[in-house]
Amino acid sequence: MPAAGNEFARYGGRTTCVQIMSEYLPPETILAVDAGTGIDLLGKKALTEGVKWAHVLFSHWHHDHTQGLLLCPPMFKEDFTFYLYGPEEHGYTPFKVYEALMQPPLFPVHFARVRHHFRQKPIRFPEAQAIVVHPEGGFKLLNVDELANAEKNEPAQLQIRQGKYPVEECLVIRMIRGNHPDRSISYRFEERPTGKVFVFMTDHENTDGISQDMRRHLKGTDVLVMDSQYSRHLYDEHTVGFGHSTPDYCVRIAAAAGTCGFLGLTHHDPFATDEAVDEVLEEAKAVADSIGYKGLIRALADNDEIEI
Ligand SMILES: [Zn+2]
Ligand SMILES: [Zn+2]
Q: Which of 37-46, 135-144, 237-246 has the lowest mean pLDDT?
A: 37-46
Mean pLDDT in residue range 29-53? 93
Helix, strand, coil fractions of the chain, as percent rounded to 5: 30, 25, 40
Mean pLDDT in residue range 118-135? 98
For ligand 2, the distance from its centroid to the CA atom of residue 155, given in whole angstroms, is: 41
For ligand 2, the distance from its centroid to the CA atom of residue 128, given in whole angstroms, is: 24
Closest CA to 249 of 275, 217, 224: 224
Task: Report the pLDDT value the prediction gives residue 260, as an integer from 0 to 100.
Answer: 98
Q: Which residues surround ligand 1, an ion (CB under 5 A)?
A: 62, 203
Task: Report the pLDDT value the prediction gives residue 256, as an integer from 0 to 100.
Answer: 95
Q: Is the pLDDT of residue 178 over 90?
A: yes
For ligand 2, the distance from its centroid to the CA atom of residue 103, given in whole angstroms, is: 23
The 10 Å Cβ neighbour count of residue 149 is 12
For ligand 2, the distance from its centroid to the CA atom of residue 135, given in whole angstroms, is: 31
For ligand 1, the distance from its centroid to the CA atom of residue 16, given in whole angstroms, is: 10
For ligand 1, the distance from its centroid to the CA atom of residue 204, given in whole angstroms, is: 8
Q: Is 148 exposed, middle or buried (0-12, 13-18, 19+ CB in 10 A)?
A: exposed
Q: Could you read off the pLDDT of 51-87 as tens digits, one per residue?
A: 999 999 999 999 999 999 999 999 999 999 999 999 9
Task: Report the pLDDT value the prediction gives residue 47, as an integer from 0 to 100.
Answer: 87
Reported as a pLDDT band with limits 50, 70 and 90, residue 276 is very high
For ligand 2, the distance from its centroid to the CA atom of residue 54, given in whole angstroms, is: 21
pTM recorded for the entire structure:
0.97
Q: Is the dihedral of CA 289, 290, 293, 296 positive or negative?
A: negative
Task: Report the pLDDT value the prediction gives residue 269, as an integer from 0 to 100.
Answer: 97
**Is-cis flag, bond preceding 247, omega within 30?**
no
Q: Could you read off the pLDDT of 219-274 as tens digits, one per residue?
A: 999 999 999 999 999 999 999 999 999 999 999 999 999 999 999 999 999 999 99
For ligand 1, the distance from its centroid to the CA atom of residue 236, given in whole angstroms, is: 19
For ligand 1, the distance from its centroid to the CA atom of residue 119, given in whole angstroms, is: 23
Q: Is the pLDDT of residue 41 over 90?
A: no
For ligand 2, the distance from its centroid to the CA atom of residue 308, given in whole angstroms, is: 25
For ligand 1, the distance from its centroid to the CA atom of residue 64, given in whole angstroms, is: 7
Task: Report the pLDDT value the prediction gives residue 42, as an integer from 0 to 100.
Answer: 87
For ligand 2, the distance from its centroid to the CA atom of residue 168, given in whole angstroms, is: 33
| Distances 3 to 6, 249, 270, 271 between C-alpha atoms, Å | 10, 24, 6, 7
For ligand 2, the distance from its centroid to the CA atom of residue 86, given in whole angstroms, is: 14
- Using H for helix, E for strand and C for coil, what is the string for 123-151? ECCHHHEEEEEECCCEEEEEEHHHHHHHH
Task: Report the pLDDT value the prediction gives residue 118, as an integer from 0 to 100.
Answer: 98
The answer to whether residues 189 and 20 touch, using CB atoms and an 8 Å cutoff, is: yes
For ligand 2, the distance from its centroid to the CA atom of residue 193, given in whole angstroms, is: 32
Mean pLDDT in residue range 116-139? 97
For ligand 1, the distance from its centroid to the CA atom of residue 180, given in whole angstroms, is: 7
H/E run at residue 100: helix 94-101
